[in-house]
Chains A and B, each alone.
Chain A
Amino acid sequence: MMRRVGAIIWILAILAAAGYLGTRLASGVTLESNILALLPRQEGDAAVQRASDRLANAMARRFAFLVGSHSPEQAIAAAHALTAALKQSGTIASFDSTVDQNAQKKIAAAYFPYRAGLLSEADRIALKAGNSEAVKQRAMTSLYGIGGMADSRLLARDPFLLMPAYILGLPAAQTKLAIDGDVLTAKDGAITYVLVSGDLAGAPYALDFQKAFHKVVADAEPHLKAVAPDVTLIRTGAVFYAHDAAQEALDETSIIGIASLAGTLIVILIVFGGVRPILLDIFAVGSGILCAFLGTLTIFGQVHVLALLFGVSLIGISVDYSLQYFCEYFDPGAPDSFARLRRVLPGLAIGLSTTLIGYCTLLLAPFPGLKQVATFSVIGLSVSCFTVMLCYPLFDRHRPYVPGNRFVRIAAAHWSLWEAKSKFAIGLRTILILALAAMAIGGLAKLQVDDDVHHFQSLSPDLKRQEGAFARLTGTPTGTQFLLLRAANTEALLQQEERLEATLGGLKRKGALADFTAVAQFVPSAARQMENRALIQDRLLRPHLESYLAEIGYDGTPDYPTPAGVLTPAQLPNAGPFALVKLLDVSGPGEAAHVLLLSDVRDDKAVRAAVAGIDGVRFVSLADDWSALFAEYRRYAIGLLALSVALMFPLLAFRYGAIRAMRVLAPSLLAVAVAPLLALLAGVPFTFFNAMALVLVLSVGVDYSVFCAETGGERKPVTTLAIALAALGTILAFGMLAFSRVFAVHAFGVTMLIGIFIAWLFAPAAGDRARRQ
Chain B
Amino acid sequence: MPRLPGVLACTVLAMLCASANAAPATPQTIAAGEILRGHFVQARQLEGFAKPLKSEGSFTLVPGRGLIWHNEKPFDSAAIITAGGILQLSRGQEAMRLPAAKLPGLAQLYTILSAALSGNTAPLQQAFVVTQSSNESGWRVELKPLDTGKQAMTQIKRLVLSGSHYVESVEVERSSGDTDRITFSAHTIGKADLSADELAELKAAAK
Binding site for B on A (CB under 8 A): 72, 99, 101, 104-105, 108-109, 112, 134, 137-138, 140-156, 158, 163-165, 167-168, 172, 174-182, 185, 187, 552-556
Closest to B179 in A: A148
Smallest beta-carbon distance A569→chain B, Å? 20
Residue of B1, B12, B83 most packed against chain A (CB within 10 A):
B1
- Please give me the 4 A-B residue pairs with the lowest Cβ-Cβ distance, nearest first: A147-B9, A178-B107, A152-B47, A152-B46
One digit per residue, 1 when the CB lies within 8 angstroms of any chain A CB and 0 when it does not, for chain B 17-51 equals 00000000000000000000000001010111111
Q: How far is the CA of A567 from the CA of B150 in the complex (A)?
A: 29
Closest to B73 in A: A144
Q: Are A153 and B176 in contact, CB atoms less than 8 angstroms apart?
A: yes
Indicate if B101 sits at the interface (CB-CB under 8 A): yes
Smallest beta-carbon distance B26→chain A, Å? 27
The answer to whether residues A112 and B1 also contact, given A138-B95, A144-B53 and a CB cut-off of 8 A, is: yes
Q: CB-CB < 8 A to B107: which residues of A?
A: 178-180, 185
Residue of A108, A140, A187 most packed against chain B (CB within 10 A):
A140
30 examples of A-B residue contacts, CB within 8 angstroms: A104-B4, A108-B1, A141-B79, A141-B96, A142-B96, A143-B44, A143-B53, A145-B9, A147-B8, A147-B13, A148-B44, A148-B172, A149-B3, A151-B5, A151-B178, A152-B48, A152-B177, A164-B2, A164-B3, A164-B4, A175-B99, A176-B101, A178-B106, A179-B100, A179-B102, A179-B103, A179-B106, A180-B111, A181-B104, A555-B49
Besides A140-B77, A148-B44, A154-B3, 13 more A-B contacts (Cβ < 8 Å) are A101-B150, A138-B95, A138-B96, A141-B95, A142-B96, A143-B53, A144-B42, A158-B2, A174-B101, A175-B101, A552-B49, A552-B53, A553-B51
Kindly identify which residue among B2, B47, B99 contacts A108, using a CB–CB cutoff of 8 Å.
Answer: B2
Q: Are A167 and B2 in contact, CB atoms less than 8 angstroms apart?
A: yes
Q: Are B105 and A179 in contact, CB atoms less than 8 angstroms apart?
A: yes
Smallest beta-carbon distance A547→chain B, Å? 15
The answer to whether residues A145 and B151 also contact, given A137-B90, A150-B5, A152-B176 and a CB cut-off of 8 A, is: no
Q: CB-CB < 8 A to A134: which residues of B?
A: 90, 95
Binding site for A on B (CB under 8 A): 1-6, 8-13, 42, 44, 46-51, 53, 55, 69, 71, 74-75, 77, 79, 81, 83-84, 88, 90-91, 95-108, 111, 148-151, 155, 172, 174, 176-178, 180
Q: Are A144 and B2 in contact, CB atoms less than 8 angstroms apart?
A: no
Closest to A162 in B: B2
Smallest beta-carbon distance A177→chain B, Å? 5
Q: Are B79 and A154 in contact, CB atoms less than 8 angstroms apart?
A: no
Q: Are B178 and A152 in contact, CB atoms less than 8 angstroms apart?
A: yes
Q: Are B3 and A150 in contact, CB atoms less than 8 angstroms apart?
A: yes
Smallest beta-carbon distance B14→chain A, Å? 11
Q: How far is the CA of A182 from the CA of B98 in the complex (A)?
A: 18
Q: How far is the CA of A167 from the CA of B63 in the complex (A)?
A: 31
Q: Are A145 and B176 in contact, CB atoms less than 8 angstroms apart?
A: no
Q: CB-CB < 8 A to B155: which residues of A?
A: 151
Q: CB-CB < 8 A to A553: which residues of B?
A: 49-51, 53
Q: How far is the CA of A142 from the CA of B75 in the complex (A)?
A: 12
Closest to B153 in A: A181
Smallest beta-carbon distance B114→chain A, Å? 11
Closest to B75 in A: A140
Q: CB-CB < 8 A to A155: which residues of B?
A: 46, 48
Q: CB-CB < 8 A to A187: which residues of B?
A: 83
Q: CB-CB < 8 A to A167: which residues of B?
A: 2
What is the count of residue pairs linking A and B with beta-carbon distances less than 8 angstroms? 166
Q: Are B49 and A141 in contact, CB atoms less than 8 angstroms apart?
A: no
Q: CB-CB < 8 A to B49: which residues of A?
A: 152, 552-555
Q: CB-CB < 8 A to B97: which residues of A?
A: 168
Q: Are A168 and B79 in contact, CB atoms less than 8 angstroms apart?
A: no
Closest to A99 in B: B104
Q: Are B9 and A556 in contact, CB atoms less than 8 angstroms apart?
A: no
Q: CB-CB < 8 A to B84: which residues of A?
A: 178
Closest to A149 in B: B5
Kindly identify which residue among A146, A168, A175 contacts B96, using a CB–CB cutoff of 8 Å.
Answer: A168
Kindly identify which residue among B90, B101, B178, B180 contacts A138, using a CB–CB cutoff of 8 Å.
Answer: B90
Q: CB-CB < 8 A to A178: which residues of B?
A: 83-84, 100-101, 106-107
Q: How far is the CA of A361 from the CA of B67 in the complex (A)?
A: 73
Q: CB-CB < 8 A to A142: which residues of B?
A: 88, 96
Q: CB-CB < 8 A to B11: which residues of A?
A: 147
Smallest beta-carbon distance B25→chain A, Å? 27
Smallest beta-carbon distance B140→chain A, Å? 20
Q: How far is the CA of A332 from the CA of B52 in the complex (A)?
A: 117
Residue of A145, A150, A176, A552 most packed against chain B (CB within 10 A):
A145
Q: Are B91 and A172 in contact, CB atoms less than 8 angstroms apart?
A: no
Smallest beta-carbon distance B189→chain A, Å? 21
Q: Are A181 and B96 in contact, CB atoms less than 8 angstroms apart?
A: no
Q: CB-CB < 8 A to B47: which residues of A?
A: 152-153, 156
Q: CB-CB < 8 A to B55: which residues of A?
A: 144-145
Q: How far is the CA of A142 from the CA of B55 in the complex (A)?
A: 12
Smallest beta-carbon distance A168→chain B, Å? 6
Q: How far is the CA of A144 from the CA of B75 in the complex (A)?
A: 9
Q: Are A163 and B53 in contact, CB atoms less than 8 angstroms apart?
A: no
Q: Are B3 and A151 in contact, CB atoms less than 8 angstroms apart?
A: yes
Q: How far is the CA of A181 from the CA of B4 in the complex (A)?
A: 13
Q: How far is the CA of A175 from the CA of B99 in the complex (A)?
A: 9
Smallest beta-carbon distance A224→chain B, Å? 21
Smallest beta-carbon distance A99→chain B, Å? 6
Kindly identify which residue among A109, A143, A151, A556 contacts B176, using a CB–CB cutoff of 8 Å.
Answer: A151
Smallest beta-carbon distance A321→chain B, Å? 66
Q: How far is the CA of A141 from the CA of B9 in the complex (A)?
A: 14
Kindly identify which residue among B48, B79, B96, B104 contacts A554, using a CB–CB cutoff of 8 Å.
Answer: B48
Q: How far is the CA of A314 from the CA of B79 in the complex (A)?
A: 72
Q: How far is the CA of A142 from the CA of B90 in the complex (A)?
A: 10
Q: CB-CB < 8 A to A144: which residues of B?
A: 42, 44, 53, 55, 71, 74-75, 77
The answer to whether residues A182 and B51 also contact, given A142-B88, A150-B3 and a CB cut-off of 8 A, is: no
Q: CB-CB < 8 A to A112: which residues of B?
A: 1-2
Q: How far is the CA of A430 from the CA of B176 in the complex (A)?
A: 98
Q: CB-CB < 8 A to B105: which residues of A?
A: 179, 181
Q: How far is the CA of A556 from the CA of B46 in the complex (A)?
A: 12
Q: Are A148 and B180 in contact, CB atoms less than 8 angstroms apart?
A: yes
Q: CB-CB < 8 A to B50: which residues of A?
A: 553, 555
Closest to B10 in A: A147
Smallest beta-carbon distance B147→chain A, Å? 13
Q: CB-CB < 8 A to B90: which residues of A?
A: 134, 137-138, 140-141
Q: Are A556 and B53 in contact, CB atoms less than 8 angstroms apart?
A: no
Q: CB-CB < 8 A to B42: which residues of A?
A: 144, 146
Smallest beta-carbon distance B176→chain A, Å? 4
Q: How far is the CA of A180 from the CA of B104 in the complex (A)?
A: 6
Q: How far is the CA of A180 from the CA of B102 in the complex (A)?
A: 11
